[in-house]
Amino acid sequence: MTSNVRCHPFDMAEELQSEVMRVLMSGQSLQGDDVTQFEQRVAKMANRDQAIAVGSATDGLFFALRALGIGSGDAVLVPALSFVASASCIVCSGAELVFVDVDQSGQIDLSVAKSRITSNTKAILAVHLYGSMLDPKKLIDFAQSNKLLILEDAAQAFGSSFAEQPAGSLGNASVFSFDPTKVIGALGTAGVIAVDNNDLAAKLKAMRYHGKTSDGFVHLGYNSQMSTLIAATLNLKLNKNAEWTAERQRIAVIYNQAFLSLPITLPDSPQQVNHVRHKYTFLTEKRDDLSRHLSKYGVPSRFHYARILSDEPMFKSLENEDYPIARRISATTISLPSHAYLADEEVDRIVSAVTSFFK
């Protein structure tokens, strides 16, 4: 099969191998210079003063909530449509989880969020779903006018921006994920917290290793460090980020154009958004049948997310509100392959598989 594969990760096998050997020889398994370098590069991309590498975005969200002083007696707003970690971190912190419905594009609806505020509400955990980005001005105005802290869940949005303002640059703390499925995937799990406040950064650095400072074990934390090996390979992959993003965006344009006349709702985001296309999703009432049809053509598809968060067993007892838009998206959304090493013939096959279903 001829292929135009430009950025297949196996293209990097040799480079990755030599990085692995270099780190092994250095003897710096944890907190090596590669970790510091990765932190600095992420901080720069996110327009932040400091970035703190941790074991996962899940840990990053939990540490950030704790370091911001959020816990028992506080309430935190979070969209009803996201990955479970956006919500479970709030429960882990001891705070009350308050779900908010989303808008038609799947992002938290700030006008609904307003109606969910009580005197206990301390923060909004804003998720940039699918690699899109919320309007920074609207989010900041909302938080300021309601005296809320902002925790940005940018797990899916590394590299995205809104009118040149990068995801990860907003509010009190921001978290990125580098798990293997994300736009830059680590050889394992990995996350980064980005902040502008030195005291907060020092606290977060301590929390990732049992709260240790020069005074001893000061803050309650646990062990969630990024290995030097993971940081070294992430640094290498970071060099490809712009190229990979451009390729995912090119493929999204091909999908959009090919699907224009189909009876589906195409993904939508404001013009100012540089959507990194972590996920390519669209809505169709027939998505279960479509998904089965696609698998016959060897095309994998996923539902992000097949359940709204308040329907997940662990959250069911907490809630009795409904979230009609999140529910509708959840029942009709389908995600197609979106990564930089899809060959042209694979994109063609995906397009024909989708279009043939609607004929």
Ligand X SMILES: Cc1ncc(COP(=O)(O)O)c(C=O)c1O
From 35, 62, 86, 130, residue interacting with ligand X (rule: CB under 6 A): 86
* Helix ranges restricted to H, 120-195: 136-145
Give the integer Cα–Cα distance in Å for 263 and 151. 37
Residue 275: C-alpha distances to residues 93, 183, 184, 221 (Å)? 31, 12, 15, 34
Task: Identify residue 185 by its one-letter amino acid code.
Answer: G
- Kindly write out the interface string for residues 238-257 of this chain, putting x where it contacts ligand X by CB under 6 A and - elsewhere: --------------------
What is the CB neighbour count within 10 angstroms for residue 288? 14
From 191, 221, 267, 337, residue interacting with ligand X (rule: CB under 6 A): 191
Element (H, E) at 177: strand 173-177
Q: How far is the CB of 301 from ligand X (least distance, A)?
A: 17
Among residues 142 and 158, whose Cβ is nearest to ligand X? 158
CB 116 within 8 A of CB 95: no
193 forms part of the interface with ligand X (CB under 6 A): no
Phi, psi of 278 (to 5 degrees): -55, -45
Among residues 32 and 79, whose Cβ is nearest to ligand X? 79
Q: How far is the CB of 230 from ligand X (least distance, A)?
A: 12
Q: How far is the CB of 175 from ligand X (least distance, A)?
A: 7
Task: Identify residue 158 by its one-letter amino acid code.
Answer: F
88 forms part of the interface with ligand X (CB under 6 A): no
Question: Residue 108 has what DSSP assignment?
Answer: B
What is the CB neighbour count within 10 angstroms for residue 285? 13
From 38, 63, 83, 255, residue interacting with ligand X (rule: CB under 6 A): 83
CB 258 within 8 A of CB 38: no
- Kindly write out the interface string for residues 23-62 of this chain, putting x where it contacts ligand X by CB under 6 A and - elsewhere: ---------------------------------xxx----
From 38, 51, 75, 82, residue interacting with ligand X (rule: CB under 6 A): 82
SS3 274: strand
Among residues 101 and 153, whose Cβ is nearest to ligand X? 153
Considering only residues 126 to 155 of the shown chain, the ones binding ligand X according to CB under 6 A are 127, 153, 155
Strand 212-213 to strand 216-217: parallel, antiparallel, or no bridges (unpaired)?
A: antiparallel
330 burial type by CB count under 10 A (0-12 exposed, 13-18 middle, 19+ buried) = buried
Residue that is written with structure tokens 């950030």 in the block: 64
85 forms part of the interface with ligand X (CB under 6 A): yes
Question: Residue 209 has what DSSP assignment?
Answer: B
CB 330 within 8 A of CB 303: yes
- Kindly write out the interface string for residues 150-179 of this chain, putting x where it contacts ligand X by CB under 6 A and - elsewhere: ---x-xx--------------------x-x
SS3 6: coil
Among residues 58 and 301, whose Cβ is nearest to ligand X? 58
| Contacting range for ligand X; rule: CB under 6 A; set: 83-91, 197-205, 290-298, 351-359 | 83-91
Among residues 166 and 357, whose Cβ is nearest to ligand X? 166
Residue that is written with structure tokens 């490809």 in the block: 240
- Kindly write out the interface string for residues 109-128 of this chain, putting x where it contacts ligand X by CB under 6 A and - elsewhere: ------------------x-
Q: Which residues bind ligand X (CB under 6 A)?
A: 56-58, 82-83, 85-86, 127, 153, 155-156, 177, 179, 189, 191
